[in-house]
Amino acid sequence: MHESSATAPEIVLTWPLPSIIEAVSAEESWRLFAPESEPFYDGLAHYQNFRTVPTAKRGVVLAIEKEKPAIVFVPNRQISSVYEFCRVLITDHPIVLVVEDHPALASQLLPRERAKQAGISVIEPCDSTEIQYCASAAVSFSHSLRAPVVLLLHHRLLASSATEVRKTGNPYQALSSTVESTTPLHLGRRLELNRQRTLPSPGEQVEVGFITLGESDLSLKYLVSELQLLGRVPMLNVRLVHPIDKFPVERLLSRCRHVVVLEPRPGEVEQEIIRIAQSMRREGREVASIWGKQLPPFTPEGPAVPVPVNAIHPSVVARLTQHLLKEVSPSANISELLSPEFALLEAKPTKRTEFGTKGALDLLRSMAERVLCHSESNSHVLVDGFTVKNGEGSKIFIETWGEDRFLDSGINVLRYAVSRDETRVIIVWRNFAIGSALMSLISAILPSKSDDGKQVLEVAIDQGEELDKAIENASAKDGVSVIVVRDSEDPRFDLRRLAEVASQVDKLGFRQQHAIVIPMEQLTPVRIVPFDPWKTKTTTPAMPLETSMSTRWLEPDYRRWSISLRPILERVEVTRSKPPVRVVTKSTAGLAPPKVLHGSAPNWRVHIAGSRGTQPGVVGNILIHAGIQMGYDIRVQCNNRFVGPGRCAWSQILYTRKQTTNSYRPLIGSIPWGEADLLLGWDREEVLRAIDPAGNLRVSTSAKTFALVNIDLLEHQTEIKDENNALVPFDDRALSKCCNAEKLILRGFASLARVRFHNERLGDVVQLGMAFQMGYIPATVDAMLLAVHAIEKKGFARSAEAFEFGRRVAIEADDAWKPIAEETKVDLAKLEKRCVRDLQKQGGRSVANAEVVKRLLRQCRQSLPGLYESVDGRQSLTDIMNGIRRCMLWGGEEVATKFLKALCKVYEVDSAENGRQLTRNVILPLAESMLIRDPIYLARLARSPEILRRIRKQLNVRHSRGDTLKRRFLSRFRLRLWKWSLQVDLRTSDWSSVFVSGVGRFVPRRWRGHKRDKAVRETISDAINNAITSPDCYDHWVDVFANLNKLALESKWHTTSLEEIKKIIQQ
């Protein structure tokens, strides 16, 4: 039993890069070389024998120097230099060049044609299950030919995967060890690289045949299988692309009337097929018509059908070849099987450019334009060659450079600029990895000038004031100045550092440092609005508070002096050592196994819009592990385009039952248009791309696709904008048309995870749990739980907790997320005790103030008993208690007593029949008018226990779990002397609030506040007196104060003009 278990087959998921390395894993001497760039670096960095090189060409040089067998990974943009170097290269050790082919990104490159010109053999697999075999074949070729060999992989193929039954050991290792020296064509035939399918008999001619390369072969096989045309369509799959074996090509050309060459770059291999056909014609043989860049017309009179670049998706192939396949089977109505068209989106999401070097350079360019266009100089300013300011003075040239482009071309530009007599400012964005080496290089080129100070400065991009000053000073100098700009400690643009920070959060399941910036204006409203976790929120990074200073001249008629110091922003940072815990209401409903909706379907497809982590993302990995547990055949297709910190574009997964020889069907990971059973939309922009009728994905239809979509903005994500840069709302109308509208779920899953886990990144697993509990995923509970726990061990903490919570949300969508009653409901008795206790703890004069508050609260309870009778009345009592303690902060016993007496007078004339509506409407307008937001009040409020408790509650700070809270303020000092104004924003601790609070004791109350604030206070007081003395106009005053109460609830009280308030009162 032990021996049989050791050789038992194992179901594994094969990815391209590990498959290539497994093909040579028997020999430890193999070396791996790749540049530090996409798409290879992230998948290779953990191998011990891997070495990073600046370019792929350098990797080939090192492979030769090491005299060891090597695999060199060549990105798409470095093909030309590597091919040129390997043109006449002879090596005693095998070298395999794994080349990325990305037609959509660089359609002008011809990797197959250039390899032919360089005399390099090219092998191209069709899907991920063939990569290991083709890699072993490439090793055999290199052994035999004593030359490098290209293993060409399409960009999509690098992001695909499939399950495979594999026994212990590598069955392909023998291919690379005992190979006789022979020609490439003999090796290709021996290894059966080219595959002929359904070849007509000699003398027979069929209407159409196909020559396929790469993934187009799998798409065509899938299409022929779906149309039940297997065995009726001749196909030649060419995996040995160069040198091409002409004999199977000649057989196909002689037995078909039309031959279509399907390839990622139309026309590239077609030219070689045409040369073979011309040779046949010279011999007098009958040859088929060859099509590649263009296909035969739909009608005899119509034009030829152009073939776009990268047309390898099965739905694209179906639309291009439907009229050709109809010739094979006239009864097949192919057009009815195609997905229907939908209306275009209101605004198509554009490519995200706010990250990486381009995003940083765009910001630096806009900063330079802002600084120089608003300067008082009369200079003529050009930024990157474009005039941004016309002037008659000297010219100022501003250039922005990325680090890689600067190292490649900028050094020579800098040398040339030094010799010119002009003002030129070169702004260079540097990556984090290079460190200070760039500064040393630039300093060595620039001549030293002791009179002009430093010509090379380095500034962090979050130091806005210093960067503005550096640009301004450099533009005032003669000669060349260089400003090197680096990313901040909290990365904003560096893709690798953004991914590292996100990975650390995923590993822990929470943020160790969680910081928010709160404007003081948000802390001042008397009514504390409850937090809504389903509400869509925009997350912005909490940038460090900066100290800055500015001066300006005021209008000539300004004749007085003033001085003030007030807090304007507060930055709160909590540091955690354990995951934050928020207690939620215990649910009484059990988590029963869901009723699976797709249990009897032959296959099941899911599109994950927005993947957290590397391919295929945490949700994709959970589904893959669960599918393996269920015994499914699985295919995966991903797109690893960076869309946010630790987020990739999308993943697609196919489940199907195990196939036998008699029931074989080609399997593809890409979702044919409209065939997705489930759409999990974590990133809402990627959701729109997935359903865009003019896009390449088009995964959904209303009759088939269930959808769960997160409508929240994610970290570092901005609103969708149209062509005119105007904000466009999320197009849920289009989503309801191309998905099952009755079961469509649009929720703020990110906000839900923020409230429940204090980590929005767990929201995708919450979404997955909800989809599973609703029966949209064909897997058992045990399989899903095993998969979730396996993923937790791979660096995605708290996934099991989030998955279970998502299942509960599916059962109790309205109640599962709610915090316990103690966090949402206000107990008036406890609130009253807390108001008194907070003052008693402060000691000193606050003890006497506590007695005053205690007396006023007792008077409120006795004088306003009718407010205890309703829910709205109890909320009003909460506002009164908050108003009393706020009035004590503002002006002590006198102001608080005045506030309460005014309410008691209103209560006496109020009517009990309508629930004391006048009293309830008066509370907030009266409190807001009395609480003038002057520096003294804001300073006292910032230090109050009430605000500190509110911040701790919002951030869920618990000292018992080791949480520490750190507060920093941005305080504004303003001095006005007649026509001159000085404004300094100081980054401080709470000393400024302590200082202003202490000085406030000696400032008379009549000096506090602006004229507008005092006028509003008097206006509201007069309106209340009028309401008290005119009971006949009761309904009028109820409506007036209802409108004023609405202003207070919407936080518009202190921004509404006095005239508008008077207009409301006089209506």
The pLDDT tens digits for 387-434 are 888 888 888 999 999 888 888 888 888 888 888 888 889 998 887 666
Same domain membership, residue 664 and residue 651: yes
Question: Is 577 a member of any domain?
Answer: no
Alpha-carbon distance values, 537 to 247, 516, 522, 746 (Å): 64, 14, 15, 14
Question: Does one domain contain both 229 and 117?
Answer: no
- Percent helix, strand and coil across the chain, each rounded to 5? 45, 20, 35
Q: Which residues contact 1017 (CB under 8 A, 6 or more apart)?
A: 929, 930, 932, 1009
Q: Is 605 helix (H, G, I), strand (E, B) or coil?
A: strand
Q: What letter represents residue 1's amino acid? A: M
Strand residue runs (E) in 329-454: 380-383, 386-389, 395-402, 423-429
Confidence (pLDDT) at 552? 60
Residue reference for tokens 């100022």: 396
- Please indicate whether residue 582 or residue 865 has the higher confidence score (pLDDT): 865
Distances (CA, A) of 396 to 218, 378, 965: 57, 10, 47
Q: Which tokens sit at 1061?
A: 């308030």
Q: Which of 552, 533, 523 is nearest to 938 (CA)?
A: 523
Q: 892 and 971: one domain?
A: yes
What is the distance between the alpha carbons of residues 586 and 820, in angstroms, rounded to a whole number? 8
Looking at residue 335, the DSSP 8-state letter turns out to be G
Kindly state whether residue 588 falls inside one of the protein's structural domains: no
Q: Which long-range contacts (CB under 8 A, 24 or more apart) does 412-417 make?
A: 414/442, 414/445, 414/446, 414/480, 414/482, 415/445, 417/480
Name residue, tokens 């009726």.
232
For residue 829, what pLDDT is reported?
A: 83
What pLDDT does residue 4 have? 38
**∠ CA(1007), CA(1013), CA(1017), 5° rounding?**
100
CB 365 within 8 A of CB 385: no
What is the dihedral angle through the alpha carbons of 829, 835, 841, 844, rounded to the nearest 10 degrees?
A: -130
595 located within any domain? no
Give the pLDDT of residue 583: 61
Residue 1001 is encoded by which pair of tokens?
């004791």
37: domain range?
2-190
What is the rounded distance in angstroms from the CA atom of residue 138 to the CA atom of residue 782? 42
Domain harbouring 185, CATH code:
3.40.50.970
CA nearest neighbour of 132 among 164, 107, 106: 164
Whether residue 548 lies inside any domain: the answer is no
Domain shared by 687 and 794, yes or no? yes
d(CA 324, CA 648): 37
Q: What is the pLDDT of residues 153-195, one digit of tens each?
A: 999 999 999 988 776 555 555 454 444 557 899 999 999 999 9
Same domain, 186 and 226: no
Q: Does 171 lie in the same domain as 78? A: yes
pTM of the model: 0.84
**8 Å CB contact between 751 and 359:** no
- Point out the domain boundary residue: 818, 833, 866: 818
Among 168, 132, 183, smallest CA distance to 24 is for: 132
Last residue of a domain, one of 762, 796, 818: 818
Query: Which residues are CB-neighbours of 679 under 8 A, at least 6 positions away?
Result: 606, 607, 609, 687, 690, 691, 699, 700, 705, 706, 707, 708, 709, 739
Q: How far apart are CA 688 and CA 735, in angstroms?
A: 8
Interval 739-751: pLDDT, tens: 988 889 998 899 8
Distance separating the N- and C-terminal Cα atoms of the chain: 93
Q: What angle do CA 371, 373, 374 make, to 5 degrees?
A: 70
* Residue 62 and residue 158 in one domain: yes
C-beta of residue 98 within 8 angstroms of C-beta of residue 107: no
Alpha helices in 553-636 (DSSP H): 617-630
- Whether 1016 shows a pLDDT value over 70: the answer reads yes
Which of 306, 337, 368 is at the close of a domain? 337
The whole-angstrom separation of Cα 839 and Cα 836 is: 6
639, 655: one domain:
yes
Mapped onto helix, strand or coil, the DSSP state of residue 528 is coil
The verdict on 399 and 268 lying in the same domain is: no
CATH number of the domain enclosing 265: 3.40.50
**Is the pLDDT reported for residue 58 higher than 90?**
yes
- Our CA angle for 632, 633, 638, nearest 5°, is 115
Within a domain: residue 565?
no
By C-alpha distance, which of 655, 726, 730, 626 is closest to 685?
A: 730
φ, ψ at 132 (rounded to 5°): -65, -40
- Give the mean model confidence (pLDDT) for residues 336-343: 72
CA–CA dist 526, 325 (Å, integer): 73
Answer yes or no: is pLDDT of 582 > 50: yes
| Residues 912, 918: Cα–Cα separation, whole Å | 10
Paired sense of beta strands 235-237 and 195-197, if any: antiparallel
| 872, part of any domain | yes
Are 713 and 729 members of one domain?
yes
Query: What is the rounded distance in angstroms from the CA atom of residue 745 to the CA atom of residue 769?
Result: 13
- Mean pLDDT, range 731-737, rounded to an integer: 83
Same domain, 256 and 183: no
Residue with the two structure tokens 């010119």: 420
Q: Which residues pair with 553 in a beta bridge?
A: 980
Instruction: Specify the number of domains making up the chain.
Output: 5
Statement: residue 987 has pLDDT above 50: yes
Residues 684-717: pLDDT tens digits? 889 999 998 888 899 999 889 999 999 988 888 8
Task: Mark whether 628 and 725 lie in a shared domain.
Answer: yes
**356 or 927: which leads in pLDDT:** 927
975 within a domain of the structure (yes/no): yes
Average pLDDT, the chain: 84
We report the CATH number of the domain holding residue 654 as 3.40.920.10
> In the 8-state DSSP scheme, what is residue 779?
-
The predicted pLDDT at position 977 comes to 74
Across the range 779-788, mean pLDDT stands at 95
The answer to whether residue 104 is domain-embedded is yes
Position 7 pLDDT exceeds 70: no
- So what's the pLDDT on residue 306? 93
